[in-house]
Amino acid sequence: MYIPVAKPFIGSEELSKVKEVFDTGWLGMGSVVPEFEESLRAYLGARHAIAVNTGTSALHITLTSLDIKKGDEVILPSLTFVSTPHAALACNAKVVFCDVQPHTLNVDIGDIRKKITGRTRAIMPVHYSGMPCDMDDILKLAKKNGIHVVEDAAHAIGSKYKGRMIGSFGDVSCFSFDPIKVITCGEGGAVATNNDRLAKKIVIKRIMGIDKDTYSRYKNRRSWFYRVKDLGYRYHMSNINAAIGMVQLKKIDVFLGRRRKIAKVYDDNLKDIKEVGLIRKDYDSIAPFNYIIKVTGNKRARLMEFLKDREIETGVHYIPNHLQPFFKKFKVRLPVTEKIAGEILTLPLYYGMKDDDVNRVVSAIKQFFMR
């Protein structure tokens, strides 16, 4: 009876592929990882797709590979998961929070423009809930100022911007494949880029700065020999996670079709409730990661309790980072972000959600506002 806000859809096919990995005895980074990378690269239409262990790792390794360091500034929205600012702080850079647009909840390019200084080295737009940011304007602004653009595409696998797949253009895009994303590797992430030099650097950094991974070394006669060429991390993906991702990627179009159908049912049934604001979306081009509404009139907390009593889970994506205790020292005012912080509410959305489940959520919300 309980309806969670998100849930992975995995089964016998994923288990069978993992068993193949178990049978080889090579559980770490081996031959399945490059297979997954090639499938992902082909799907995205990117020159390079580099698999890592988490989406957070993807963000951090990208920034450090771009030589973001102490004294540099990175502009990013406060309305994002803490991974985004933490990736910049892990490089000892200064985080500069920007505001978002009220109708899309994506970065406000006007506010970004105001916050660019001579120390700005990167902009990190977040494709919130799978809705692509206005990338043409962001890339144009960045090029004019000599700034890198690192897209946080954790929500946006399968989304398109003006007919172009997120990850196929621009500087670099970072994806997440944790358990609740559109597709999962169990845990995992990836960096997509068309920049050969950047890709080569990330490939080396993801496995302790060593020029060849263990699997490649042990295929050669001099298996004991390796060279450390850069500062690196244990950010590589395992064969186990890549095996799950291989199967999931083949299902992505089916997953997205169902998610879009559910989102449209929500739209159609909630659009006439005056206290509910919908986020503008073009479902022909976006891959909906989650479904967000804005609840006005200071009713969000009561609605969440009402739904909880009916065994329907909801969430808040996200509590703005600049309002968190750790980031209060930044002392920035973001009027739009702060207003919507008390309104946004995440409703259940996942591939395995039944029609009856969707109708239960809709009926409960209508019941709440009709009391």
Question: By C-alpha distance, which of 306, 336, 337, 335 is closest to 319?
Answer: 337
Question: By C-alpha distance, which of 365, 358, 163 is closest to 260?
Answer: 358
Q: 346: part of which helix (H) or strand (E)?
A: strand 344-347
How many Cβ atoms from other residues are within 10 Å of residue 323's Cβ? 14
- Residues forming beta bridges with residue 193, ordered by sequence position: 48, 172
The DSSP output letter for 37 is H
Q: Which of 17, 94, 181, 294 is catalytic?
A: 181
How many Cβ atoms from other residues are within 10 Å of residue 336's Cβ? 16
CA distance 70 to 92: 5
Cα Rg, the chain, nearest whole Å: 21
CA distance 27 to 19: 10
Token pair 């082909």 in the structure block, residue: 42
> Is the N-terminal amide bond of 318 cis, ω within 30° of 0?
yes
Active site residue 281: no
3-state secondary structure of 79: coil
The per-residue DSSP string of 162-196 comes to TTEETTSSSSEEEEE--TTSSS--SS-EEEEES-H
CA distance 185 to 252: 12
Enzyme catalytic residues: 181
